[in-house]
Structure 1
Amino acid sequence: MNIAVSIAIPDDEEKQTELSFDELSDRAKEKARDNYRQNYPDDGWWDSSYEDFDKIADMMGICIATKQVPLMNGKNKSVPAIYFSGFWCQGDGACFEGNWYPEKDPLASLTKVMGHAPNDADLHEIAFGLAHLSERCNQLIPEARVKVEHNSRYYHSNSVSYDIDLPMPIHIQEGNELQHMVFDGLRTKLDLDDEAFETEVSDLLRRFMDWMYGLLEEEHEHLTSDEVIDQYLEEMKFDEDGEAIY
């Protein structure tokens, strides 16, 4: 006698539905994007921007300091001392630590910046301002120095302090009142007295920090855009709710 046996397969043992990203509903796609963004972009996405900022800063007389960053292998690497926070709060921004010195050849400095970033009008204005300040410093106080230090738990263009050194030229005699009077008069004429100089240089350096932050924000928005995220998700499989399977 032949006996037919029917074996039912429980629902929970049925093969899980696997969908490509393009096959998901709009709601599931958005969930998949949000899940992916939680761990993306990876730390270090700003490295190339930092390198470019450091290069441009050097063209304008800004010597950005370095900081040590730990690596996975236990070693450290030196990177520009640039800091930022973002990109959702009013107090977010960027800053750096380092020094500014008058450029010996302001015209060459400005030409380098404009050649490196020919279409960036905001950067051109900052570079022109620092070149103009360098030109006046070279006439009277070529050894001027501005030290920039981070002084807050926040990171933005107002979270730094400035230590300004405007040394008197060595050819001016300490007891020569006439030379001192002429020197002080020229400083005022060139807007290089202590207050005017600090206001001008701090404004230009803050504008450069704000410019850096603007580019970092643009890069982050690009990396986390639907267009870029979708390219990664096209290589993955999902369930119907947009949860990644692999």
Structure 2
Amino acid sequence: MSKVIETTVYQFDELSDAAKEKARDWYREGSFGYDWYDSVYEDFRRVAEILGLHLKTRTVRLYGGGTRQEPCLWFRGFWSQGDGACFETFYSFRKEAPRRIRNYAPQDTELHRITDALQSVQRRNFYQLHAEASHRGHYYHEYCMAISVERDSPTRQDMTAGAEEVMIEALRDLARWLYRQLEREYDYLTSDEAVDEAITANEYTFTEAGRRFG
């Protein structure tokens, strides 16, 4: 014999503090199946273009059967010692990069420092340095990038002393910078403030104990 069971449901702001915390846990566990990092990737693509990085791309299959080209950017985080970000790219000198990066990100002193390091080592080598970074291994952090540096000199001059190391470290610093942007975005999206706003905007309802209803 069928029965009708009535359940009282609550909006988020009607819950107790303990029930709100349970509701937040529910949201955090199941609400990051989308590409939440897209805005960070888009910002990085703009930074890369300013600095003279030409990111490599890979073919990604779509659910509908088609394909599209995605930049070779990867990360894993944010809880283990081996977590990080990396990318695949070709790099060459880009004129006015320091001025342009300061216009684009005026408060980001770390990005300014990386740009200045690239500019300085290029100046010492008559702006003839080129680099290539490729991913290697099964992890995703700055040391998973195999980076080669060459000088395209018409007179076959060698690189100045230490130039290769400076270039490699600058590109690895850029991968570290990308990881910090991803971590910052994730921390914001999972903060109580952002989660509360998302739950309220979607008008989710819960039981008195904070379990999602419906």
| TM-score relative to the length of structure 1 | 0.80
Q: Which runs of 5 or more structure 1 residues have no equivalent in the other structure?
A: 1-9, 173-182
Verify the 8 A CA contact 2:133 2:145 in the aligned structure 1.
Answer: yes
Query: Which residue is 2:13 aligned to?
Result: 22
Q: How far off its partner does 1:151 sit? A: 0.7
Q: How far off its partner does 1:14 sit? A: 3.9
Higher radius of gyration, 1 or 2: 1
| Equivalent residue in structure 2 for 1:34, among 15, 18, 25 | 25
Query: Which residue is 1:137 aligned to?
Result: 125
Q: How far off its partner does 1:162 sit? A: 1.4
The answer to whether the aligner puts 1:226 opposite 2:177 as a matched pair is no
Query: Which residue is 2:163 aligned to?
Result: 197
The answer to whether the aligner puts 1:78 opposite 2:63 as a matched pair is no
Tell me the percent identity.
35
Query: Which residue is 1:113 aligned to?
Result: 101
Whole-Å Cα distance in 1 between the matches of residues 14 and 63 of structure 2? 38
Q: How far off its partner does 1:168 sit? A: 4.1
Q: 1:175-194 maps to which residues of 2 (within 5 A)? A: 183=157, 187=159, 192-193=160-161
The list of structure 1 runs, each at least 4 consecutive aligned residues, that deviate by more than 6 angstroms after superposition, is none
| Equivalent residue in structure 2 for 1:207, among 139, 156, 173 | 173
Whole-Å Cα distance in 2 between the matches of residues 223 and 240 of structure 1? 25
Whole-Å Cα distance in 2 between the matches of residues 109 and 72 of structure 1? 38
The aligned amino acid for 1:26 is D
The answer to whether the aligner puts 1:156 opposite 2:122 as a matched pair is no
Deviation string, structure 1 residues 154-191 (Cα, Å, up to 9, x no partner): 10111111122224424x6xxxxxxxxxx56xx5xxxx
Whole-Å Cα distance in 2 between the matches of residues 18 and 212 of structure 1? 42
Verify the 8 A CA contact 2:149 2:167 in the aligned structure 1.
Answer: no
Verify the 8 A CA contact 1:60 1:131 in the aligned structure 2.
Answer: no
| Equivalent residue in structure 2 for 1:48, among 15, 35, 39 | 39
| Equivalent residue in structure 2 for 1:216, among 153, 157, 182 | 182
Query: Which residue is 2:154 aligned to?
Result: 169
Q: Aligned to 1:13, what secondary structure does the other structure show?
A: coil
Query: Which residue is 1:6 aligned to?
Result: none
Verify the 8 A CA contact 1:146 1:163 in the aligned structure 2.
Answer: yes
Whole-Å Cα distance in 1 between the matches of residues 122 and 52 of structure 2? 9
The aligned amino acid for 2:101 is V
Query: Which residue is 1:13 aligned to?
Result: 4
Q: How far off its partner does 1:54 sit? A: 1.2
User: Number of aligned pairs?
Assistant: 211
Whole-Å Cα distance in 2 between the matches of residues 221 and 208 of structure 1? 20
Whole-Å Cα distance in 2 between the matches of residues 71 and 48 of structure 1? 20
Q: How far off its partner does 1:243 sit? A: 1.2
Deviation string, structure 1 residues 96-154 (Cα, Å, up to 9, x no partner): 00111123x2xx11110000000101101001111112222226xx2x32110111211
Verify the 8 A CA contact 1:102 1:135 in the aligned structure 2.
Answer: no
Query: Which residue is 2:93 aligned to?
Result: 102
Whole-Å Cα distance in 2 between the matches of residues 220 and 69 of structure 1? 24
Deviation string, structure 1 residues 181-207 (Cα, Å, up to 9, x no partner): xx56xx5xxxx24xx122111110011
Verify the 8 A CA contact 1:102 1:133 in the aligned structure 2.
Answer: no
The aligned amino acid for 2:104 is H
Verify the 8 A CA contact 2:73 2:85 in the aligned structure 1.
Answer: yes
Verify the 8 A CA contact 2:134 2:147 in the aligned structure 1.
Answer: yes
